[in-house]
Amino acid sequence: MATKKTQPAARTKAAPRPTGRAAARRAPAERARRPLADVMAALERAGSAQTKKTYLRHGAAEPLFGVSFATLKALHKQIGVDHELALALWATGNFDARNLAVKVVDPARMRPAELDRWARESTVRMCHGYVAAVACEGPHGVSRAEAWIAAPDVPRRAMGWALVGALAMRDETVPAAWFDARLAQLEGSIATASNGERLAMNHALIGIGCRDAASRKAATAAARRIGPVEVDHGDTECKTPDAVETITKAWTHSLSKGFPSPAAHERSRESMRTRC
């Protein structure tokens, strides 16, 4: 009699591990959220007396620990995007916590009133670009730029011009006519603007000049009519960039890399607020 072969027991298949976009969607939920107290303790441990001294010389004020931007970038990689944590970090008033907040925030969830508060409370010139980048990456960039430029206080006006420069470099959807109007506004008022505002306006002029060929021509002509922009940088080694020279160098560099403009080159990179 033939022996009946015994069939092997069926194996239970393990659930497939998510890959690609599915894994990316699950990653934020699987990342353990860090409490505010834990992050503040990490910032305090990372503080350096020398870095703190440097920040104070650039206009930062207490409270601050003196955390390097390299450390902030490492913390951002650990935390990822955590909008609620970002708002809590900003609310502490701590300079280092606020510098981390602009990295972990979700720009799409920022409301106009929150952006207004961040702009008003960001009084250190060296960090204007970070809050401007947050506004630029969300849905309220143009409206906030227009509101801040017209604000009665210097910090928001300076932030408004920083945002104009960010929009020129990052947002292709803003019409050329909008930048033409900002360029005319800038040229007519930069000579009488306050010290910090002049620096932001000069950077906006450079940003517009890097947008496309037509904007380059218009911004370069405006920069030549304006002439050298004088800014008092206090007890630092910071220099005010020459707009014509900086625009020319930016175009030479980006074209050599195969990009049609410096703005296109910038859009190919990670946002300044998270990469720096």
pLDDT at 20 over 80: no
Mean pLDDT in residue range 76-104: 97
Using 50, 70 and 90 to split pLDDT, how confident is the model at 237?
confident
Angle at CA of residue 73, ends 41 and 111, nearest 5°: 85
Angle, to 10 degrees, between the axis of helix 213-226 and the axis of helix 176-189?
A: 10
Q: Which of 255, 270, 263 is nearest to 209 (CA)?
A: 263
Residue 233: band (very low, low, confident or very high) from pLDDT cuts 50, 70, 90: confident
**21: pLDDT strictly greater than 50:** no
Q: How many CB atoms lie within 10 A of CB 12?
A: 6
Domain definitions of the chain by residue range: 34-105, 111-276
Residue 54 — very low, low, confident or very high, per pLDDT cuts 50/70/90?
Answer: very high
> Residue 99: is its pLDDT beyond 80?
yes
Give the predicted TM-score (pTM) of the model: 0.86
Supply the pLDDT for residue 125: 74
| pLDDT at position 6 over 70 | no
Helix pair 83-91, 95-104: axis angle to 10 deg = 160
Average pLDDT, the chain: 89
pLDDT beyond 60 at 30: no
147 burial type by CB count under 10 A (0-12 exposed, 13-18 middle, 19+ buried): middle
Planar angle of CA 22, 26, 27, nearest 5 degrees: 115
Kindly report which listed range (53-62, 140-149, 216-225) carries the lowest average pLDDT score: 53-62
